Amino acid sequence: MQTGTAAKMEMRIQKTRNSDRLLETLLYIWAAIVLVAVLYPLYFIVIASFSDPSAVGGGHVWLFPKGFTLDGYKELFKHSNIWIGYRNTIFYTAVGTAIGLAVNLSAAYALSRKDLVGRKFLSLFFIFTMFFNGGLVPTFLTIRDFHLYDTFWVMVLPFSVAVFDIIVARTFFQTGIPPELWEAAQMDGCGNLRFYVQMVLPLSKAIISVLALWFAVGQWNSYFNGLIYLQNPDLYPLQLVLRDILVTNQMQNALGTGEAAQIALRLANLLRYSVIIVATLPIMCLYPFVQKHFNKGVMIGAVKS
């Protein structure tokens, strides 16, 4: 009788193990396929940036660079304002991310609290702005009235509220910070602000990292605000500088078929891939630092008790 149960148990565990193993195998096959599907185009961009643009466009570059050339990079770094752009973007990203986190995390936490009087109204107040805005001209006039036009701050302050991020973070706070925790803290005479800074934030490393990543990447890639609100080229972010260098396809259409168009087109084709590498390599390196915070396993259980 007893051996029978043990055998049954053994069998069940065996079955579980088998299914686990199958799952595991399928998983790694899937991962390998995905990896190849993603890696190849990335690899393509790298080899294309070292290849003769007409070989790339003609479909002759598949595994190795063809007509090896560094012209794309040389042409790119001829423009000294790239370095100014890099410097500016790094500042904008650092400051913008700090401001963005401060503003949005605190708003998200406040909105996550069920005992916040006016919560529904406030949520709508935020969400409404995801849909409706005044458009370019009135926003421009407002920025000018605040004396933010053509300043460093216009890039990091006025548009730092990200409602999407607030809502996502709010969801995290709602599930990750149990109400009992606040009740207990309150009992100890802890106020809202202290609780937020000393308890909530340390418990929310995962969502803070995600938001930081979103902000940093958003700041890094943004050019539109610079385009509208900056006049001084010394303040231009990298993407705006690159945009000016990389004359787009529209331009050749407008230029027609003259010689200038051909020169511009060749340059555009040459720079297309090297621009991607120059512009995104630094920000891509950010992810591993963010990732670190995902795998630590937050100790909510421990705190609860």
Partner 1 sequence: MINSSSGGGLQRKMAGIGRNWGLYLLLLPAVTLLLCFTYKPMYGVIIAFKDFKPALGIMGSPWVGLKYFEKFFNSYQFSITIKNTIYISLYSFATFPIPILFAICVNQLRANRFKRVFQTVTYMPHFISTIVIVGILMIVLSPGNGLLGHIYSLFGAEAPNLLGSASLFSSLYVWSDVWQHAGWDSIIYIAALSSVDPSLYEAATVDGASRWQKIRFIDIPMLIPTAVTLLILRVGGLLGVGFEKAYLLQNNLNISGSEVLSTYVYKIGLLSSQYSFSAAINLFNTVINFLLLILVNQISRKYSEHSLW
Partner 2 sequence: MAKYMAKKWMSGLALVSVLGTAVLTGCSSDNGGKQAASGNAGKSPAGESSGSFHQEGLPIVDKTVTLNALTIRWGNMGDSFAKNAWLQELEKNSNVKINWQVISNTDWETQKSVMLASGKMPDIIVGDMAFGDADIMNNLGLFRPLDDYIDQYMPNLKAAMAEMPDMKKLSTFPDGKIYSLPARLPSRPYSSIQPVVNKTWLDKLGLKAPETLDDLYKVLKAFKEQDPNGNGKPDEIPYSDSKDVDMNLLAPFGITDIRNNHMMLKDGKLEYIPTSDAYKAGIVWANKLYTEGLIDKETFTQDNTMLTAKRQNPDAALVGFSYQWTPDAVFGPWSKQYETIAPISGPDGKKYQVGDPNGLSFRRNELLITTACKYPEVAARWADQFYTGEASIQNFWGAIGTSISKNEDGTYSLMDPPEGTSADAWYWDSSLRDFGPKYVSPEFEKKIKLDPATGDGLKLQLDSLGKNYVTQPFPDVMYTVEEYAEMPTLTTDIESYIKSNRAKWITKGGIDQEWDAYVKKLNDMGLQKLIKIYSDAYDRYQNVK
Q: Which residues bind partner 2 (CB under 8 A)?
A: 52-60, 66-67, 79, 98-99, 102-103, 106, 136-137, 140-141, 144-148, 157, 193-194, 197-198, 201, 224, 227-228, 243-245, 247-260, 262-266, 268-269, 272
From the CB of 12, what's the least distance to partner 2, in Å? 46
Question: DSSP 3-state assignment of 159?
Answer: coil
Given partner 2, partner 1, none, residue 244, with its beta carbon under 5 to 8 Å by kind, binds partner 2
Given partner 2, partner 1, none, residue 250, with its beta carbon under 5 to 8 Å by kind, binds partner 2
Given partner 2, partner 1, none, residue 23, with its beta carbon under 5 to 8 Å by kind, binds partner 1
Q: What is the largest CA-CA distance in the chain?
A: 93
How far apart (Å, rounded) are the C-alpha atoms in residues 209 and 103? Answer: 15
Q: Identify which of 90, 82, 238, 107 has the alpha carbon closest to the alpha carbon of residue 164.
A: 107
Q: Closest CB to partner 1 among 167 and 245?
A: 167
Sorted by sequence, the CB contacts under 8 Å of residue 151 that are 6+ apart come out as 235
From the CB of 137, what's the least distance to partner 2, in Å? 4
Question: DSSP 3-state assignment of 119?
Answer: helix
From the CB of 39, what's the least distance to partner 2, in Å? 23
From the CB of 121, what's the least distance to partner 2, in Å? 20
How far apart (Å, rounded) are the C-alpha atoms in residues 165 and 227? Answer: 24
Q: Closest CB to partner 1 among 36 and 234?
A: 36
How far apart (Å, rounded) are the C-alpha atoms in residues 233 and 229? Answer: 11
Sorted by sequence, the CB contacts under 8 Å of residue 35 that are 6+ apart come out as none
Q: Closest CB to partner 2 among 186 and 262?
A: 262
How far apart (Å, rounded) are the C-alpha atoms in residues 262 and 266? Answer: 6
Given partner 1, partner 2, none, residue 256, with its beta carbon under 5 to 8 Å by kind, binds partner 2
Q: Closest CB to partner 2 among 78 and 120?
A: 78
Given partner 2, partner 1, none, residue 238, with its beta carbon under 5 to 8 Å by kind, binds none
Q: Closest CB to partner 2 among 41 and 67?
A: 67
CB 104 within 8 A of CB 166: yes
Phi, psi of 302 (to 5 degrees): -65, -40
Given partner 2, partner 1, none, residue 263, with its beta carbon under 5 to 8 Å by kind, binds partner 2
Instruction: Pull the structure tokens for residue 255.
Output: 């230029």
